[in-house]
Amino acid sequence: MYRTIIEDLKRWKSSKRRKPLILSGARQTGKTYILKYFGKTCYKNCVYINCENEKDMKDIFSQDYNVKRVLNMLSAISGEKIEKNETLIFLDEIQEIRGGLTSLKYFCEDAPDYHIVVAGSLLGIALHGETSFPVGKVDMMTLYPMTFNEFMIAIGQEPLLDFVKSKDWMSITPLRNRYIEYLRQYYFVGGMPEAVAAFIENADFLEIRTIQTNIITAYKTDISKHAPKSEIQRIELVINNIPSQLAKENKKFVFGALKQGARARDFEIAIRWLQDCGIVHKVCKVSKPDMPLTFYEDQSAFKLYFCDCGLLGVIMHAPVNQILISNNIFTEYKGAFTENFVLQQLKADKNLEVFYYANEKSTLEIDFLVQRDDQMIPIEVKAEENLKAKSLKSFVAKNAVTHGIRFSMSNYMEHEWMTNIPLYAIGGF
């Protein structure tokens, strides 16, 4: 299945300042698949070694980091010839071998003509346990679950996607019911490649839900292998509580909702584990809507979102028919699915730093704030066709913002102060 990150990988390959590449991401987002595909289609040959399964890799760096010796061993283990600029060396599950990440420093300094990529889970890399991380000696990319655009390509709807890319609203509007149907499907299936593949093969929604449940179980298992036992129960509480917190009008994460008397310091570590695992995105509030946004970040006030709307549906126990057939997905669930969907696309498409803003003295709240170059862009998310946007209009009028964005189920509209973009056209944003 096509992933847009392949274009970033091609740019990495041709860069004169190329360094060893770490591709991180939550488990089962497709890191191994895309790097194998990259090696097969863009290189003369690809040397692939799974560091978790290959016993001979366990002590490869125990003697030293002599790159020439290591390259000879990699060639012997794989049975492949390794050539400068012609071979992609792909070490999967790099976090499983002692010294694996540190070795990238020496590949960068002593063998710049050899193209090496490594992959691992976000959790594994965050807890690599090395004496030093090769800061400044590696390039880094993150692979997220498939976006709605990638989903459309995978299910053979690229012609519809072309209208969105060209912003041909005259053609898009009459076809809105088709777009909405595919959006519903994506809300259920989500962007995990295995779930998407199952949907394409036979559209067995029970099988898809089983796959999604297994993915969540795998995440929990990954965490339980490393996290202190005292944190496991807290992690479970946070995971199970996210849907109800997102369903509230004020989506700021409230610790008291987890259990009576719960305080932030009791759950800070649990939330960090979920972030390192890649299962949640933490969107912090800004105390002041000014640039740079990171300068005004308030870590004590935040919202939590799942990395994938399909996984959110599992945790929420949302029935299939309510997502695919009834209007509940756009009414009763309100922002829970829709806001999670928008955040997922923003993170996956451009890996944006995303914040939100709320004025404690009024009801004004901006769902998301992003910064692009020298512009601050306020984003409002509407699950329905409700066109009231008082907060967004007031925010644009009072702050140094020239234009706002609203994602909703309404058709495309352009106003002097705001552009309304249909949710299914978010890829064009």
Q: What is the pLDDT of residue 175?
A: 96
Dump the DSSP string for 111-137.
Answer: -TTSEEEEEEEHHHHHT---S---TTS
Q: What is the pLDDT of residue 10?
A: 98
Is residue 95 over pLDDT 90? no
pLDDT band (50, 70, 90) for residue 196 = very high
- Model confidence pLDDT, tens digit, residues 365-423: 999 999 988 889 999 998 877 666 688 998 998 887 779 999 998 999 999 999 999 99
Nearest in space to 48 (alpha carbons), one of 70, 32, 59: 32
CA distance 346 to 314: 22
CA distance 71 to 78: 11
> Distances in Å between the alpha carbon of 366 and those of 92, 189, 347, 380, 382?
40, 28, 17, 6, 11
HSE toward the beta carbon, residue 365, CA cutoff 13 A: 13
Angle separating helix axes 176-189 and 158-166, nearest 10 degrees: 110
Q: What is the pLDDT of residue 36?
A: 97
Q: What is the pLDDT of residue 326?
A: 58
CA distance 186 to 329: 12
> Distances in Å between the alpha carbon of 295 and those of 30, 285, 298, 403?
34, 11, 9, 22
Contact yes or no for 419/393 (Cβ under 8 A): no
- In one letter, which amino acid is 220? K
Report CA torsion sign: 410, 414, 416, 419.
Answer: positive
Q: What is the pLDDT of residue 408?
A: 92
CA distance 333 to 344: 17
| Helices and strands counted in the chain (H then E) | 17, 13
Q: What is the pLDDT of residue 278?
A: 87
Is residue 185 over pLDDT 80? yes
Which long-range contacts (C-beta less than 8 Å, at least 24 apart) are formed by 409-417?
409/180, 409/330, 409/382, 409/383, 409/384, 409/385, 410/382, 410/385, 411/169, 411/173, 411/176, 412/169, 412/172, 412/173, 417/393
Mean pLDDT of the chain: 89
The arithmetic mean of pLDDT across residues 242-252, rounded, is 85
Q: Domain 5-142: give its CATH superfamily.
A: P-loop containing nucleotide triphosphate hydrolases (3.40.50.300)
Number of other residues whose CB lies within 10 A of the CB of residue 295: 10
> What are the beta bridge partners of residue 372?
375
- Give the CA diameter of the chain: 67
Q: Which of 177-181, 228-232, 424-428 has the highest mean pLDDT?
A: 177-181
- Six token digits for residue 340: 């999670």
Is residue 155 over pLDDT 70? yes
pLDDT band (50, 70, 90) for residue 99 = confident
Q: What is the pLDDT of residue 103?
A: 92
> 3-class DSSP state for residue 355?
strand
- Model confidence pLDDT, tens digit, residues 125-136: 555 554 567 889
Number of other residues whose CB lies within 10 A of the CB of residue 49: 22
Angle at 316 between CA 311 and CA 322, to 5 degrees: 95
Residues of the chain with CATH 3.40.50.300: 5-142
pTM (2 decimals)?
0.92
- Model confidence pLDDT, tens digit, residues 23-73: 999 989 999 999 999 999 999 999 999 998 988 898 898 888 999 999 999
- Model confidence pLDDT, tens digit, residues 301-346: 999 999 999 999 999 887 777 676 655 555 555 567 899 999 999 9
Give the H/E segment covering residue 14. Answer: helix 5-14
Q: What is the pLDDT of residue 47?
A: 97
DSSP-derived secondary structure letter, 87: E
Q: What is the pLDDT of residue 330?
A: 55
79 backbone φψ class: left, alpha, beta (φ>0; ψ -120 to 50) = left
Contact yes or no for 259/277 (Cβ under 8 A): no
Q: What is the pLDDT of residue 331?
A: 58
- Six token digits for residue 98: 């002692």
